[in-house]
């Protein structure tokens, strides 16, 4: 449980880097969820909560991207290196090997 708690906080720091509002909101939410369930004794419920927390960490790490308003009608996206993937071009007619 502690390992996952720390992992969520490390992911939060990476994903919301330089965004103090988002960092604080994520910190509060993570701490609140773990605090609300700290007295849970059912092994089944604990495993379910750990699965949810693990899924949240994966979604944060793989799906969230920062955006910054630079002008009234412009937004700059700031992708992290682990989000960038090789782009495979779309082909109408696949080639046979």
Q: Model's pTM, two decimal places?
A: 0.74
Domain-embedded: residue 52? yes
Domain-embedded: residue 88? no
Domain holding 44, by residue range, is 1-83
Q: Let me know if 5 is exposed, middle or buried by CB neighbors in 10 A (0-12, 13-18, 19+).
A: middle
Tens of pLDDT, residues 16-62? 988 899 999 999 999 999 999 999 899 999 999 999 999 999 999 88
Task: State the total domains in the chain.
Answer: 1
Domain-embedded: residue 60? yes
Mean pLDDT across the chain: 87
Domain-embedded: residue 93? no
Domain-embedded: residue 18? yes
């Amino acid at each position: 449980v502690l390992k996952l708690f720390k992992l969520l906080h490390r992911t939060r720091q990476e994903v919301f880097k330089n965004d103090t509002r988002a960092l604080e909101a994520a910190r509060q939410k993570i701490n609140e969820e773990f605090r609300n369930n700290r007295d849970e004794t059912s092994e089944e419920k604990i495993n379910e909560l750990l699965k949810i927390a693990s899924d949240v960490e994966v979604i944060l790490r793989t799906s969230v991207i920062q955006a910054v308003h630079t002008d009234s009608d412009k937004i700059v996206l700031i992708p992290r290196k682990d989000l960038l993937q090789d782009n495979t071009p779309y082909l109408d007619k696949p080639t046979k090997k």
